[in-house]
A = this chain, B = another copy of it.
């Protein structure tokens, strides 16, 4: 679809009907501004896939119009796709200082740092791209330096909240810009795009300081070593852990690459204040008095290769957990990770550790505003039109009900799918057409080379394995030269299945013998006949459906 007249388009390339890979765009005439470019982790059905990123075809076919990528904050679901995006389209990136620091780490890994134009912004910055002027407001979230974005366009003001909660007692004293938000709303907001993560949750999300007080308590009670795991990017929480360590006279060791990375960036940029001499190397920590050390580690989601998992399995090279140590899990499991986290808790108890975990421990609060905060944002902004973003459908649905409850007209609320366009043309607003949007799978070095065929094959292989049978035909007369040679993997254990494999070979031989010379001349017919006959036989005998792969060799 091509843009012809001068009208405003708003669309999501990722982030709605899902949690993850946030990417939104605004277009007025020839100016496209992109907001965020996140990645998403695959669910268990996407076998072997490492990462999912947004499909940016629309931007690639409008390269001359794409003016900037503006980033709200430094979480993976907002920055994880940036290197893949910039490799295809080198546009300037605008982000606040910490966000930029985290983006730089990624660009370095992908060898893109030198060629990228990075611009540091803050809540007071103003940007101008043709017909669109951009200002910002500060929000609170589980990472510092988060921005909401205000777009002034000929069709009116568009506000994108980024991720937010209203933490009135923020750890870093960066208070939310409530007065600014009120002024924006007072001036008039045509479109509000607001995040929906906690739209199902009543009430008001507690301040991050609540975690701080429980951390302090846990540190004071602990006698031997303390191991504490949390999201590396939650710099507020890291600061509170540093503070608790300081108050109880403990040194701090870091385990895990992302923890070392984030602490490095946050400390360098002044977002994390660690007293001189507090940080020690893991090897040194292992030699220190047990009551004098705290270990901050990755793996709070039960990731099998992360530090906490290795510690729980007693397979970490530098440190071990033993009787009387305390382990604090300062993170709730993200849906899908519950079992892995539970397994770690089990293992930690077996090692004799005291484990403090679960929602009752209050070592975690959400970074996203609950219903009262979403209503507060809606009330401050008083938008004429509302587009709930950043959430699965039920979250968008609940958020739209909240919007209606605070006075947005039902017909002015748009629940969009990725790719759906909301258009404003001389004040006439409606949903109008689609641009390309989708999921691109990253698997190893391959980007987008894994599609449904490969995934369907992986699913079949994973459930019932594969049975390969090689049939050798004579080049001269099409005669079968050999007994079939059949091999299976992931189907049955061969030692248990000698008779079965023999029966399979006999069945193939007799099937081939029954075929006419004409059919034997057509390889497709041979393959289909073998697949069908063998498939039926195997299902009857085993109630399994392995992939059957006849290979014909002509010699």
Interface residues, chain A, CB within 8 Å of chain B? 17, 43-44, 47-48, 200, 202, 335-336, 338-339, 342, 345-347, 349-350, 355, 358, 360, 392-394, 397, 443-446, 449-451, 453-455, 457-459, 461-466, 468, 470, 472, 481-482, 485, 487, 489-493, 496-497, 541-544, 547, 549, 551, 553-555
Q: How far is the CA of A280 from the CA of B202 in the complex (A)?
A: 38
Q: How far is the CA of A451 from the CA of B495 in the complex (A)?
A: 11
- Nearest 9 interchain pairs by C-beta: A444-B543, A462-B462, A461-B461, A457-B490, A346-B393, A48-B463, A458-B490, A335-B338, A444-B544
Which single residue of chain B is at the shortest CB-CB distance from A398?
Answer: B349
Q: Which of the residues B342, B463, B466 comes within 8 Å of A47, measured between beta carbons? A: B463
Find out whether the CB atom of B457 lies under 8 angstroms from the CB atom of A392: no
Q: How far is the CA of A549 from the CA of B468 in the complex (A)?
A: 10
9 extra interchain contacts, Cβ-Cβ under 8 A, other than A48-B462, A458-B461?
A202-B360, A342-B392, A345-B394, A445-B541, A454-B490, A454-B492, A454-B493, A455-B490, A468-B549
Give 19 pairs: A residue, B residue, CB < 8 Å, sorted on A.
A17-B346, A43-B339, A48-B463, A48-B465, A345-B394, A346-B392, A346-B394, A444-B544, A445-B542, A445-B543, A454-B490, A455-B490, A457-B489, A461-B461, A461-B462, A468-B551, A470-B553, A489-B549, A553-B553
Report chain B residues within 8 Å CB of A544.
Answer: 48, 443-446
Report chain B residues within 8 Å CB of A43.
Answer: 339
Report chain B residues within 8 Å CB of A202.
Answer: 360
Which single residue of chain B is at the shortest CB-CB distance from A464?
Answer: B48
Report chain B residues within 8 Å CB of A446.
Answer: 492, 542, 544
Which single residue of chain B is at the shortest CB-CB distance from A43?
Answer: B339
Find out whether the CB atom of B470 lies under 8 angstroms from the CB atom of A465: no
Q: Which of the residues B339, B458, B468 comes within 8 Å of A462, measured between beta carbons? A: B458
Q: How far is the CA of A336 from the CA of B336 in the complex (A)?
A: 6
Find out whether the CB atom of B549 lies under 8 angstroms from the CB atom of A487: yes
Report chain B residues within 8 Å CB of A349.
Answer: 393-394, 397
Q: Are A482 and B445 also in contact (CB < 8 A) when A349-B393, A451-B493, A464-B48 are?
A: no
Q: How far is the CA of A549 from the CA of B444 in the complex (A)?
A: 21
Report chain B residues within 8 Å CB of A336.
Answer: 338-339
Report chain B residues within 8 Å CB of A44.
Answer: 44
Q: Are A461 and B466 also in contact (CB < 8 A) when A449-B497, A496-B449, A555-B481 are?
A: yes
Report chain B residues within 8 Å CB of A492.
Answer: 446, 449-450, 454
Q: How far is the CA of A482 from the CA of B472 in the complex (A)?
A: 12
Find out whether the CB atom of B394 lies under 8 angstroms from the CB atom of A472: no
Q: Are A350 and B450 also in contact (CB < 8 A) when A48-B464, A339-B335 are?
A: no
Q: How far is the CA of A349 from the CA of B44 in the complex (A)?
A: 24
Q: How far is the CA of A481 from the CA of B474 in the complex (A)?
A: 12
A92 CB to nearest chain B CB (Å): 30
Q: Which of the residues B458, B470, B490 comes within 8 Å of A470, measured between beta carbons? A: B470
A130 CB to nearest chain B CB (Å): 37
Q: Which of the residues B342, B465, B496, B541 comes within 8 Å of A461, measured between beta carbons? A: B465
Q: How far is the CA of A454 from the CA of B491 in the complex (A)?
A: 7
Q: How far is the CA of A555 from the CA of B543 in the complex (A)?
A: 34
Report chain B residues within 8 Å CB of A543.
Answer: 444-445
Q: Are A465 and B458 also in contact (CB < 8 A) when A394-B355, A549-B489 are?
A: yes
Report chain B residues within 8 Å CB of A339.
Answer: 43, 335-336
Q: How far is the CA of A392 from the CA of B349 in the complex (A)?
A: 11
Q: How far is the CA of A34 from the CA of B334 in the complex (A)?
A: 39
Report chain B residues within 8 Å CB of A342.
Answer: 335, 392, 394
A400 CB to nearest chain B CB (Å): 10
Q: Are A487 and B542 also in contact (CB < 8 A) when A349-B394, A394-B349, A492-B450 are?
A: no
Find out whether the CB atom of B461 lies under 8 angstroms from the CB atom of A553: no
Find out whether the CB atom of A450 lies under 8 angstroms from the CB atom of B493: yes
Pick the most buried of A349, A461, A481, A544: most chain B CB atoms within 10 A of its CB: A461
Q: How far is the CA of A349 from the CA of B489 in the complex (A)?
A: 42
Q: How far is the CA of A47 from the CA of B44 in the complex (A)?
A: 11
Which single residue of chain B is at the shortest CB-CB distance from A341?
Answer: B335
Q: How far is the CA of A7 from the CA of B68 in the complex (A)?
A: 79
Which single residue of chain B is at the shortest CB-CB distance from A50?
Answer: B543
Report chain B residues within 8 Å CB of A449.
Answer: 492-493, 496-497
Pick the most buried of A336, A346, A459, A543: most chain B CB atoms within 10 A of its CB: A346
Report chain B residues within 8 Å CB of A455.
Answer: 490
Report chain B residues within 8 Å CB of A490.
Answer: 47-48, 454-455, 457-458, 461
Report chain B residues within 8 Å CB of A487.
Answer: 549, 551
Which single residue of chain B is at the shortest CB-CB distance from A443?
Answer: B544
Q: How far is the CA of A485 from the CA of B394 in the complex (A)?
A: 50
Report chain B residues within 8 Å CB of A350.
Answer: 393
Find out whether the CB atom of A489 lies under 8 angstroms from the CB atom of B355: no
Which single residue of chain B is at the shortest CB-CB distance from A444?
Answer: B543
